[in-house]
């Protein structure tokens, strides 16, 4: 009897995301099992229960997903699964906490595309500002951009200490250097984007981060991407489906363009499907995180 495909979805929080469950089923998994309130120290045992119960043939039809909200914890859990494998009993694992890795990868890939197409400029050497940079999508975005060689600043709306803490964590975990700051006022935001080449808005849904007056202070802005799909949108004048559309309020930045949340979301959706299907189709086990997501996102855009 042919073995069915099984996806074990580990989450350190109270609930697994219905979005992720739906995506797993649509990617081809026949049985999807959610696990909630999973502690880091429990990951190895769950992993070995998953691999030893199916035999070498069965593990090829078994995958594991790591969710949650904390990207650092997700990376730790991913590493715990890797250490728990006993070849040939080895399954593929995909970490995407809160969809942060696929959303960030799609956002950066879309911005990179417009930066190259419209300005013949690479991420390397660019000045990047990430508003909402201490959230899961924001921090993942900042790390991806910094790994590509951009001078990257993460912004927390309330606390400089929080921003510094996350910058320190990024250095420790991923060996990237992030600048850290806070921007509680419109004047703070205007100062930050005055000499930025690219801006990422990854703040909470329903919050306008950059209004028209702030955008007017940007002197060399080239591309701005916004992942907020809930009104008011994060960047004034950027519509949901904009994709390389002129930034009408960036009046002092010649040729600046914006990318809206649904344009980014379309790539994110395709990307998550691609990575989920990879856990099913790969002959060898794979361990997928934001780096894999960005590599595939570049191909999709």
Supply the angle between the helices 71-84 and 160-174 in degrees, to the nearest 10: 20
Domain range list for the chain: 6-99+267-300, 102-264
DSSP 187-210: HHHHHHHTT-SEEEE---TT---B
Q: Is the CATH number 3.40.50.720 carried by domain 102-264?
A: yes
Q: Same fold for the domain at 6-99+267-300 and the one at 102-264?
A: yes
pLDDT at 227: 98
pLDDT at 56: 84
Residue 288: its H or E element = strand 287-288
pLDDT at 2: 80
pLDDT at 1: 60
pLDDT at 296: 98
pLDDT at 134: 97
**Tens digit of pLDDT for each residue in 114-161?**
999 999 999 999 999 999 999 999 999 999 999 999 999 999 999 999
Residues (pLDDT < 70) of the chain are 1
Architecture per CATH, domain 6-99+267-300, reads as 3-Layer(aba) Sandwich (3.40)
């Amino acid at each position: 009897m042919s073995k069915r495909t099984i996806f074990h979805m580990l989450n350190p929080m109270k609930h697994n995301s219905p979005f992720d469950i739906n995506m797993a089923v649509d990617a081809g998994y026949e049985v999807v099992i959610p696990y909630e309130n999973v502690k880091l120290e429990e990951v190895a045992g769950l992993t070995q229960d998953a691999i030893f119960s199916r035999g070498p043939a069965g593990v090829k039809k078994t995958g594991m997903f790591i969710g949650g909200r904390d990207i650092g914890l997700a990376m730790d859990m991913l590493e715990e699964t890797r250490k728990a494998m006993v070849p040939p009993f080895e399954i593929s694992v995909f970490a995407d906490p809160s969809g942060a890795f696929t959303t960030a990868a799609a956002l950066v890939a879309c911005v990179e595309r417009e930066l190259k197409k419209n300005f013949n400029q690479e991420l390397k050497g660019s000045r990047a500002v990430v508003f909402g940079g201490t959230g899961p999508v924001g921090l993942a975005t900042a790390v991806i951009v910094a790994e590509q060689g951009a001078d990257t600043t993460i912004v927390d709306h309330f606390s400089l200490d929080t921003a510094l803490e996350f910058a320190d964590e990024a250095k420790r975990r991923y060996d990237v250097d992030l600048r850290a700051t806070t921007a509680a006022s419109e004047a703070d935001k205007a100062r930050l984007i005055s000499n930025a080449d690219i801006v990422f808005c990854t703040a909470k849904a329903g919050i306008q981060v950059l209004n028209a007056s702030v955008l007017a202070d940007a002197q060399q802005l080239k591309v701005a991407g916004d992942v907020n799909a809930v009104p008011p949108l994060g960047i004034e004048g950027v519509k949901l489906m904009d994709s390389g559309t002129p930034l009408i309020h960036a009046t002092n930045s010649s040729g600046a363009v914006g990318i809206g949340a649904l344009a980014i979301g379309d790539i994110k959706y395709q990307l998550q499907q691609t990575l989920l299907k990879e856990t099913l189709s790969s002959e060898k086990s794979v361990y997928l995180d934001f780096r894999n997501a960005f590599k595939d996102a570049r191909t999709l855009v």
